[in-house]
């Protein structure tokens, strides 16, 4: 399967009280990957929410990715996204199997992406590209790095950090396959607007 399109990422604070309705609205508009990102340590709630997302994703034929937690991903038989301090890639590939989607945060460093590719990542993520409400302190990344990454890597490239419908086009022009978005999607005022934004992101990627 070609990994290209909108990569929607949940945020527990932003989606409080409207979690499943907003996620379903995004899926309705088209989502290639959906990441469950919850930084709390409430294991019971995390399991419950991740299971609900897995069921929703099955209905919409969307791939679910769990942030940070390879054990939870293995339990649900879905993919995982690992940052540089979230555990090693190779054993995670062994745990989840060769068909699982495993993403790797590479900040603004091509060397990290080359290493991730060697260790079996399915996609590499660069960013942040713009000011981010969700993670203001994330290191910044340039469009030039995307050009180099496109030339040197043979993996889908994901961009993250402050992406909106107004600023995403240059990322696509510089070779991005996956647009990873929290606020630019789920910061919408209504479910109808979430669906409209999801469709519009996909239109930028022409899928
Ligand atoms: C698609 C995608 N890219 C990058 C990240 C950031 O991962 P990480 O650096 O581990 O930071 P946290 O998201 O865990 O705070 C991501 N989650 N998804
Ligand atoms: C998790 C993460 N890693 C780098 S920026 C970011 C947050 C993305 O959220 P937003 O789309 O709201 O900037
Ligand atoms: Mg992480």
Using the mean position of ligand 2's atoms as its centre, give its distance from the Cα of residue 145 in Å: 18
pLDDT computed for residue 167 by the predictor = 98
Residue 117 · residue 124 · CB < 8 Å:
yes
Nearest atom (ligand 2) to Cα of 181: 11
| Ion ligand 3 — residues with CB < 5 Å | 68, 83, 86
The DSSP code sequence of 106-175 is -TT-HHHHHHHHHTT-SEEEEE--S--SS-TTSPP--HHHHHHHHHH--S-EEEESS--TTT-HHHHHTT
Mean pLDDT of the chain: 97
Cis before 187? omega within 30 = no
Domains of the chain: 3-203 (3.20.20.70)
Instruction: Measure the CA–CA gap between 134 and 61, rounded to whole angstroms.
Output: 27
Residue 128, pLDDT > 90, answer yes
Residue 122 · residue 102 · CB < 8 Å:
yes
Mutate to test the pocket of ligand 2, among 65, 107, 139, 180 (most ligand atoms within 8 A of CB): 180
Using the mean position of ligand 1's atoms as its centre, give its distance from the Cα of residue 34 in Å: 13
Full-model pTM: 0.98
Q: Is the CB of 87 under 6 A from ligand 1?
A: no
pLDDT computed for residue 160 by the predictor = 99
* CA quadruple 65, 177, 61, 25: dihedral sign: positive
Confidence of residue 90 (pLDDT cuts 50, 70, 90): very high
- Within 10 Å of residue 39's Cβ, how many Cβ atoms? 10
The reply to whether ipTM tops 0.95 is yes
Q: Is the CB of 160 under 6 A from ligand 1?
A: yes
For 3-37, what is each residue's pLDDT tens digit? 999 999 999 999 999 999 999 999 999 999 999 99
């Amino acid at each position: 399967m070609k990994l290209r399109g909108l990569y929607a990422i949940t945020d527990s604070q932003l989606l409080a009280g409207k979690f499943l309705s907003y996620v379903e609205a995004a899926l309705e508009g088209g989502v290639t990957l959906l990441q469950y990102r919850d930084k709390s340590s409430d294991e019971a709630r995390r399991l419950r929410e991740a299971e609900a997302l897995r069921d929703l994703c099955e209905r919409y034929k969307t791939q679910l990715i769990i942030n940070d937690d390879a054990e939870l991903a293995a339990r649900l038989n879905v993919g995982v996204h690992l940052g540089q301090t979230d555990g090693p890639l190779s054993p995670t590939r062994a745990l989840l199997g060769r068909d699982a989607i495993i993403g790797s945060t590479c900040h603004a460093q091509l060397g990290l992406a080359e290493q991730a590719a060697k260790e079996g990542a399915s996609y590499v993520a660069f960013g942040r590209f713009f000011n981010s409400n969700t993670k203001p302190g994330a290191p910044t990344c340039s469009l030039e790095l995307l050009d180099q990454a496109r030339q040197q890597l043979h993996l889908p490239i994901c961009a993250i950090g402050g992406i909106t419908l107004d600023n995403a086009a240059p990322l696509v022009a510089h070779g991005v396959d996956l647009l990873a978005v929290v606020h630019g999607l789920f910061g919408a005022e209504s479910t109808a607007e979430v669906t409209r934004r999801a469709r519009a992101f996909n239109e930028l990627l022409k899928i």
